Amino acid sequence: MVTRLYSHPIYLEHLTPPGHPERPDRLRAVERVLEDEKFSYLDRVQAPEGDPATILYAHPQPFVDKVRAAIPAEGIHKVDSDTSVSPRSWQAAITAIGAANAAVDDVFSGAADNVFVASRPPGHHAEKTTAMGFCLFNNAAIAARHAQKAHGAERVAIVDWDVHHGNGTQDIFWDDPSVLYCSTHQMPLYPGTGALNETGVGNIVNAPLAPRTGSDIFREAFGTRVLPAIEDFAPDLIIISAGFDAHHRDPLAEINLVEDDFDWATGQLMESASRHANSRLVSLLEGGYDLHGLAFSVAAHVGRLMRG
Ligand SMILES: [Zn+2]
């Protein structure tokens, strides 16, 4: 297996207020753990700058203009109570999109079997016209549309195991049967969406989990709701919205997963991808706010991507 890793120093320059959980140290912790010798075969590539026109795959131009206009010349500007931009945020966001789209290109060209993108800001809360939940633009949604437009993918599955529901991705694909969105998430929890009865045009599969859910119930939900939906859908590409805040150490939620659960879920999706999608699998970092839980969960996830 060739597993590619995209990163870029610009991702450290998207700044959030002091004490904010979505902070540059998250990526420093990820980079540190991936320096271990067992990741020496990772194909490390600096993320390319994205094409701003691809943002329009998921967001209308006036919204893009509004986000860009909110970027301050200095300091930090809040776009909502918990989402902010700093002078280099546009460049970070466009490079997160660049990496997500390049990852899609890589798995279709065969340059890599699978790809992990260690970027920020995250994306899954960004709705068509709303930046929220630490997210400016929806990286996973843009990458899914890029696969359709540039590579002729007919069906793309986005699997979101971040502990928060990806309201943004659900919003963008709500009436689009060419994209399957499956999410496991804690409920009740921010942002409040993700109930079982939110099904779009049959392309949305939500698996809400009660607080204090552990490995067994998570794996059951993943195995009985997410995996069969992917099996029926037979995607040409699987994109993972890979948040690691369902880890038991995470301060923002009360789900009790361990590193091995992310290894397991990764393996399940690799099997699905090998059956339907010529193994094409792209994983994009979303949340994860305990530095130890995040780093070791990423290590388990990427280790599985490399191992096959
Ligand atoms: Zn999250």
What is the Å distance from ligand 1's center to 305 Cα? 21
User: Which residue stretches of the chain have pLDDT < 70?
Assistant: none
For residues 86 and 35, is the Cβ–Cβ distance under 8 A? no
What is the Å distance from ligand 1's center to 296 Cα? 16
Catalytic residue among 124, 125, 146, 165: 125
Question: Residue 259: how many CB atoms within 10 A of its CB?
Answer: 19
What is the Å distance from ligand 1's center to 272 Cα? 24
Cα 237 to the chain's mean position, in Å?
14
Which residues partner with 257 through β-bridges?
Answer: 247
pLDDT attached to residue 257: 98
Pull the structure tokens for residue 4: 């590619």
What is the Å distance from ligand 1's center to 185 Cα? 9
d(CA 43, CA 5): 6
Concerning whether 125 is annotated as a catalytic residue, the answer is yes
Which residues partner with 130 through β-bridges?
Answer: 127
Helices within the chain (DSSP H only): 25-33, 61-70, 89-109, 139-151, 167-172, 215-221, 227-233, 259-276, 291-307
What is the Å distance from ligand 1's center to 250 Cα? 10
Q: Is 280 exposed, middle or buried (0-12, 13-18, 19+ CB in 10 A)?
A: buried
pLDDT attached to residue 296: 98
DSSP string, 196-247: TT--TTTTEEEEEE-TT-BHHHHHHHIIIIIHHHHHHH--SEEEEEE--TTB
For residues 300 and 263, is the Cβ–Cβ distance under 8 A? yes
Give the list of residues 6+ apart from residue 53 with CB closer than 8 angstroms, or none.
none
What is the Å distance from ligand 1's center to 232 Cα? 27
What is the Å distance from ligand 1's center to 109 Cα? 31
pLDDT attached to residue 1: 83
Q: Is this prediction's pTM over 0.95? A: yes
